[in-house]
Amino acid sequence: MNVLGIDIGGSGMKGAIVNTATGEMLTKRFRIPTPEGRKPKDMAKVVNKIVKHFDHKGPVGVGFPTIIKHGVCKSPGNLHKKWLNTNVHELFSEATGLPVIVINDADAAGYATMNYGTGKGKKGLVIMITIGTGLGSGAFLDGELLPNFEMGQIPYKKYDKIEMWASNAAMERDNLSYKKWGKRFNKFLKYVDTLICPDLIILGGGASKDFEEYKDCITIDTPVVPAELQNHAGIIGAAAAAIHQAPKD
Ligand code: BGC
């Protein structure tokens, strides 16, 4: 089925039409910068613009960069505080007039890798970590999503959450080399490993494509591999979510 996948981030909102049988993107990616202020109504308008750009009439899947519980935003994360308790599912469905499924962005990226990529057919506990403005995590047990694992929210030293110290944004902010940042990221992976003991960790997001640069910093025993869908995983996985999570009647 052809589904519009939309990946929402703090700086950009990106969409493409995806063939959910194969995970292939059938169009080029279309990107609009996230409106300043990152408020619900403004962002809903952009979602509708992306729908109009593709003249899309079918299902839409959206990956959203905060905790999403049954369609409702349960933490504003790096967005405007008005998002807290907003029913994102309803807001986007009304803005577009289409059936929209909304899930956490890292859960969406995980759907991509588990359905079409490195994670396909992998049993046990597989964790997708997305490295970007924050550190997102998506957990899959025998291929089934356990929504809203938020490993990036672990407090660390003076930071409210470890993602503020070990994300891609932190690397840029503190002007770190991959070697230096890799040590921080390894510390984060050690927490993940100790707390939930996964069978496999798959890395996505910006820094995953440069894995060779920091892979020697990773010392945990659990296998850690980069996802091959990288930057498109958010869009492809959001589209896959629209199929997996569509209401059954
Ligand atoms: C949020 C997560 C999100 C991640 C990546 C974090 O700040 O808490 O829900 O998946 O950023 O966007």
**pLDDT confidence of residue 153:** 96
Contact 203, 211 (CB under 8 A): yes
**pLDDT confidence of residue 90:** 97
**pLDDT confidence of residue 109:** 96
The atom of ligand 1 lying closest to the CA of 148 is: 9
Residue type, 79: L
Contact 209, 85 (CB under 8 A): no
- 212's CB contacts (< 8 A; 6+ apart) are none
Mean pLDDT across 45-69 = 97
Contact 9, 26 (CB under 8 A): no
Structure-block tokens of residue 235? 């869009």
Contact 136, 106 (CB under 8 A): yes
Q: How far apart are CA 148 and CA 75, in angstroms?
A: 11
Q: How far is the CA of 30 from the centre of ligand 1 (A)?
A: 22
Q: Residue of the nearest CA to atom 12 in ligand 1?
A: 65
**Digit-coded pLDDT (tens) for 186-222:** 999 999 999 999 999 999 988 888 999 999 999 999 9
Q: How far is the CA of 107 from the centre of ligand 1 (A)?
A: 10
pTM of the model as a whole: 0.96
Q: How far is the CA of 249 from the centre of ligand 1 (A)?
A: 31
**pLDDT confidence of residue 230:** 65
Q: What is the dihedral of CA 99, 105, 111, 117, to 10 degrees?
A: 130
- 234 versus 206: the higher-pLDDT residue is 234
**pLDDT confidence of residue 185:** 98
3-state secondary structure at position 68: strand
**pLDDT confidence of residue 11:** 87
Q: How far apart are CA 122 and CA 246, in angstroms?
A: 23
Q: How far apart are CA 39 and CA 70, in angstroms?
A: 20
Task: Quote the percentage of the chain above a pLDDT of 70.
Answer: 99
Question: Mean pLDDT, the chain, as a whole number?
Answer: 95
**Digit-coded pLDDT (tens) for 13-23:** 999 999 999 99
Contact 112, 71 (CB under 8 A): no
3-state secondary structure at position 64: strand
**pLDDT confidence of residue 249:** 60
Q: How far is the CA of 134 from the centre of ligand 1 (A)?
A: 5
DSSP calls for 146-210: E----GGGS-BTTBSSTHHHHSHHHHHHTT--HHHHHHHHHHHHHHHHHHH--SEEEEESGGGGG
The atom of ligand 1 lying closest to the CA of 107 is: 10
Mean pLDDT across 218-243 = 92
Ligand 1 in contact with 7 (CB < 6 A)?
no
**pLDDT confidence of residue 52:** 98
Mean pLDDT across 220-248 = 89
Of 173, 176, 129, 125, the residue nearest 154 (C-alpha): 129
Q: What are phi and psi of 72, to 5 degrees?
A: -105, 135
The atom of ligand 1 lying closest to the CA of 163 is: 7
**Residue 231 scores a pLDDT above 80:** no
**pLDDT confidence of residue 191:** 98
Other beta carbons within 10 Å of 112: 32
Q: How far apart are CA 188 and CA 195, in angstroms?
A: 11
**pLDDT confidence of residue 123:** 97
**Digit-coded pLDDT (tens) for 150-200:** 999 999 999 999 999 999 999 999 999 999 999 999 999 999 999 999 999
